[in-house]
Amino acid sequence: MANIKVPKAPTIRRMPTYLHKLMELHAEGAPSVSTTVLANYMNLESIVVRKDLEITGISGQPGVGYKTDELIAAIRNFLGWNNIFEACLVGAGSLGSALLGYEGFEEYGLRISLVFDADPCKIGTSVHGRKIQDISRMSELLKPGMFRLGMICVPTAYAQETADQLVANGITAIWNFANVSLQVPDGVAVQREVIAGGFALLSVKIAQLDAVKNGGE
Amino acid sequence: MANIKVPKAPTIRRMPTYLHKLMELHAEGAPSVSTTVLANYMNLESIVVRKDLEITGISGQPGVGYKTDELIAAIRNFLGWNNIFEACLVGAGSLGSALLGYEGFEEYGLRISLVFDADPCKIGTSVHGRKIQDISRMSELLKPGMFRLGMICVPTAYAQETADQLVANGITAIWNFANVSLQVPDGVAVQREVIAGGFALLSVKIAQLDAVKNGGE
């Protein structure tokens, strides 16, 4: 069982958002950024921002805040995003296509350069500039060492066999968008993306607002 | 600033996944489920599962585990998912369309029944059974009290004005899929969905596996 513990998950989840803002500021020529600006952007308290960013090994300086280029480098380094992650994606349905169309990934060093599907109507066509390959050609096209990351966007029923196939072809990290728990061997990292997780968080916020409205403090 | 704190975010994010598994078990006629089964499914330690589920007010019983129907009801109650959330979605591009096609939402009580777009080529067409409405008709179609939740899937540059428009029309909860931080008045809940957040978590897991491989303990 690939049971990898990641402490501070909320902090880590926020890293791409910090990075996005910092790159924006850097592009605007801002040499530094205050904790307050970041806190406002993130909708967080300043103390949380400071604690979040400590994970990268960088501490803000009183009166100066953070040097944008230094913090960008530190976040990239912390996440291992110094180099491009070459990824393949399996399942060019509506979600897979949406992910292929998402322009934010390159900013984070993720490049989806190989796309597979089993549907004869899709094979050979292009989605957002990527040609869809026949999934039966996976072992031929997934050259050893070329790809590390596989994104699974197939229907739930096919997710496990897709994972098996990816692992058999040398993929050691799986980003799973299917609504199912995958079994993978030791040494393979899996991240299951549950889109409804955000809806759960929003629902709790709604309940909190209701509690405030209906009296309480 | 709608600065709502949600403690135990990772636990809350996992609730839909527990719910999904429990509903599966319930459909199979299983009256109860052990902590171990849930832990294996979630790729978590049993102790974490027990702590997670405590948030719903339910404790597992030694030798029995959890009663599936009781736990389903408790999770739904905790998240406020006893009733259907009627949602509208703005932006029927590739991501919006993917969300409209996602069948899991109904399971969680989320029903997207109204879809807006500004593109004349899209208005009047259907995506996954929903007719796309002209965004200029929002105030006419968003009848007061009918919808509480608005999902924003428009390009980044239009996200803030879309949020303003939704709030002006009585929406008090926004699920934001645009890669931008939104400003909303007090009393409006916002959840920003950063798809790269999962990639950040996966990246940290990859780094941990690398550390194990390259020596370490």
pLDDT of A11-50, one tens digit each? 999 999 999 999 999 999 999 999 999 999 998 999 999 9
Q: Which pLDDT belongs to residue A216? A: 55
- Residue A66, C-beta contacts closer than 8 angstroms, at least 6 positions apart: A32, A33, A34, A35, A38, A53, A58, A60
Q: What percent of chain B has pLDDT over 70?
A: 97
pLDDT in tens, chain B (217 residues): 445 677 889 999 999 999 999 999 999 999 999 999 999 999 899 999 999 999 999 998 888 899 999 999 999 999 999 988 899 999 999 899 989 988 788 888 899 999 999 999 999 999 999 999 999 999 999 988 888 999 999 999 999 999 999 999 999 999 999 988 999 999 999 999 998 999 999 999 999 988 888 875 4
Min distance B11 CA to chain A CA atoms (Å): 9
Question: Is residue A79 a contact partner of residue A107, using CB atoms and an 8 Å limit?
Answer: no
Residues 155..194 of A with a Cβ closer than 8 Å to B: which?
172-173, 175, 179, 181, 187-194
Q: Do A205 and B4 touch (CB under 8 A)?
A: yes
Min distance B100 CA to chain A CA atoms (Å): 9
Q: Of the candidates A81, A128, A204, which has its C-beta nearest B6's C-beta?
A: A204
* Residue B125 in tokens: 């067409």
What mean pLDDT comes out for the span A136-143? 94
Q: Which of B20, B148, B191, B202 would best serve as a mutation to test chain A binding (most A beta carbons within 10 A)?
A: B202
B87 → chain A, closest CA residue = A199
Q: Which pLDDT belongs to residue B159? A: 97
Question: Is residue B110 a contact partner of residue B173, using CB atoms and an 8 Å limit?
Answer: no
Q: Do A189 and B202 touch (CB under 8 A)?
A: yes
Chain A contact present for B208, CB below 8 A: yes
Chain A contact present for B209, CB below 8 A: yes
The packing angle between helices B68-79 and A196-213, to 10°, is 60
ipTM > 0.90, yes or no: yes
**Average predicted confidence (pLDDT) for chain A:** 92
Q: Which residues of B touch A81 (CB under 8 A)?
A: 203
Domains of chain B: 9-79 (1.10.10.10), 85-196 (3.40.50.720)
Question: Is residue B207 a contact partner of residue A85, using CB atoms and an 8 Å limit?
Answer: no
Q: Which pLDDT belongs to residue A1? A: 41
Q: Which of A204, A213, A217 would best serve as a mutation to test chain B binding (most B beta carbons within 10 A)?
A: A204
* Residue A195 in tokens: 């889109």
Q: What is the DSSP letter of A111?
A: E
Q: Which pLDDT belongs to residue B212? A: 84
Mean pLDDT lowest among A148-152, A189-193, B102-106? B102-106
Q: Of the candidates A3, A14, A175, which has its C-beta nearest B198's C-beta?
A: A175
Q: Is the dihedral of CA A10, B82, B101, A160 positive or negative?
A: positive
Residues 123..142 of B with a Cβ closer than 8 Å to A: which?
128
Chain A contact present for B108, CB below 8 A: yes
Min distance B44 CA to chain A CA atoms (Å): 7
Question: Is residue A174 a contact partner of residue A191, using CB atoms and an 8 Å limit?
Answer: yes
SS3 content of chain A, % helix, strand, coil (to 5): 45, 20, 35
pTM: 0.90
